[in-house]
Amino acid sequence: MTEHAEQLRRIPRVDREAVAGLRRYAWLVGWWAAGRAVVFVSALAVDALGPAGYLRSEERGSALGLLDAWDGRWYRMVAEYGYLLVPGRQSDPAFFPLYPVLLGGLHRLGIGYGAAGILSSNLALLVALTLLYLLTRELLGEGRARRATIYAAIFPLGYVFSMTYPESVVLALIAGAGLAALRRRWLLAAVCAGGAALARPEGIFVALPLLAIAWHQRRTLSATGRGLALGAVVAPAAALASFPFYLDRVLHDPLAWSRAEHAWGRHFSPVGIVHAVTLLPAQVSNSAWVIRDVVFFALYLVLLARARRAGAPWAWIAAGLAIVALPAFSASFMSIGRFGLLAPPIFWGLAELGRSRRADRAIRVVSIVLLVAATVTVPFVFP
């Protein structure tokens, strides 16, 4: 036996597995680090060279303040002061509670709210990428899983995953719920699904794939197992229901979320998508940035179709479609680009597009270039 083999034998088995695990996922950590490096360097460049006067002095105060801007301020405000509905004005009950709860928890450990936001979002992205990889591997195989994960790490609007926004946490929870359900760990699936719905309203749509998986496993589950599976399907709605109850307790208004959304210019109606289209010229003349979201909306629809062609289950496609299309029912396309980041099938569709080596390379290069460009736009427009 060689000396090296002898040394390896002396390492405890658990440690060896950890080392092997780290090696197995080194590429994933590398892409996560590369994507985040692109975002951080771009943010630092904007801080050093970018235009003054677009961001609040609070956000200009630190080198990475750019990543703490826009909704980040509102999430911090909820974490620090709690909810308050200001009638007739944009106010914070429009922001779902799980992310501020996370910021508040980290703050209690002695981390500042701004740092807590950036830290939690970026670490959550690493978890999200890992879970997205494992989920995709189970559904669509190794090749697509790798590509989907890499594309998610460097997706053009993926700078949001590094901001004080809940998107990376929600993506982790959605992918985690799906993976746990596939592995028959339904209680964990319920926790993840509930958390996703409590962090973003779109999180509720994870119930669709969970329902499909539960239906598929129904004959092989015990009565208790079926109950856990059904509970996991209902958990997002149940967790979501806790939000109006909480708002009723602190603000005496269970509909505070809806009222706040109204003040933010979002009012859901069955014909909202028609209004979104008819009002588009006016919205473009008001702010041309909405074109970005219309382009991503169209791209997401194409990617969902490609994901279906790649063999993604219908339930996931339906969930992705709901995540992408539902915001348009509030009569606006604004921010749909960001909302789509929560739908794993988007990345599966992109992985399907990147099957050939040439397409794969092209997607990677274009994504990184657009990621830099999109990060630089943060002072001018919210994601």
Partner 1 sequence: MRGVLVTVAVACLVACGAALTGWGLQAAVLPPPTKAARVTARAVSWLLRYRLVDSRFRIGGGPPVRGECLQAWIPAPHHGGEDRGTVLALDTGRALVVSPQGVRLLGPSWPEPRTLPLVELDLGGCSRMLAPRLAAILQTKHIRIERAFAAGHPALAIPVRTKRTRIVVYVTPRTFKPFAVAVDSRRYRAHSRIRLTRLTPARLSGLMELAGR
Work out how close the CB of 254 gets to partner 1 at its nearest, in angstroms, rounded to a whole number: 12
Work out how close the CB of 344 gets to partner 1 at its nearest, in angstroms, rounded to a whole number: 21
Shorter beta-carbon distance to partner 1: residue 88 or 270? 88
Distance, CA of 156 to CA of 135 (rounded, Å) = 22
Work out how close the CB of 115 gets to partner 1 at its nearest, in angstroms, rounded to a whole number: 17
Shorter beta-carbon distance to partner 1: residue 238 or 368? 238
Q: Please, are residues 126 and 119 in contact by the beta-carbon 8 Å criterion?
A: no
> How far, in whole angstroms, is CA 381 from its chain's centroid?
19
- Residues forming the site for partner 1 (CB under 8 A): 77-89, 91, 97-98, 100-101, 104-105, 108, 187, 190-191, 194, 198, 223-224, 226-228, 230-232, 234-243, 245-246, 249-251
Question: Which tokens hold the place of 330?
Answer: 């509030």
Distance, CA of 311 to CA of 34 (rounded, Å) = 29
Work out how close the CB of 20 gets to partner 1 at its nearest, in angstroms, rounded to a whole number: 35
Distance, CA of 294 to CA of 119 (rounded, Å) = 30
Secondary structure (H, E, C), 34-71: HHHHHHHHHHHHHHHHCCCCCCCHHHHCCCCHHHHCCH
Q: Residue 183 half-sphere exposure, CB side, CA atoms within 13 Å?
A: 16
Q: Please, are residues 141 and 123 in contact by the beta-carbon 8 Å criterion?
A: no
Q: What H or E segment, with its residue span, contains residue 349? A: helix 344-353
CB atoms within 10 A of CB 138: 13
Shorter beta-carbon distance to partner 1: residue 245 or 281? 245
Shorter beta-carbon distance to partner 1: residue 30 or 227? 227
Distance, CA of 221 to CA of 181 (rounded, Å) = 12
CB atoms within 10 A of CB 90: 13
Work out how close the CB of 252 gets to partner 1 at its nearest, in angstroms, rounded to a whole number: 8
Shorter beta-carbon distance to partner 1: residue 53 or 245? 245
In the DSSP assignment, the letter for residue 87 is: T
Shorter beta-carbon distance to partner 1: residue 61 or 105? 105
Work out how close the CB of 82 gets to partner 1 at its nearest, in angstroms, rounded to a whole number: 4
Work out how close the CB of 178 gets to partner 1 at its nearest, in angstroms, rounded to a whole number: 17
Q: CB-based burial of residue 62 (10 Å sphere; 0-12 exposed, 13-18 middle, 19+ buried)? A: middle
Burial 155-170 (b: 16+ CB within 10 A, else e): bbbbbbbbbbbbbbbb
Nearest CA to 344 out of 374, 373, 315, 383 is that of 315
Shorter beta-carbon distance to partner 1: residue 194 or 349? 194
**Cβ-based neighbours of 137, under 8 Å, separated by 6 or more:** 145
What type of residue sits at position 253?
A: D
Q: Please, are residues 326 and 145 in contact by the beta-carbon 8 Å criterion?
A: no
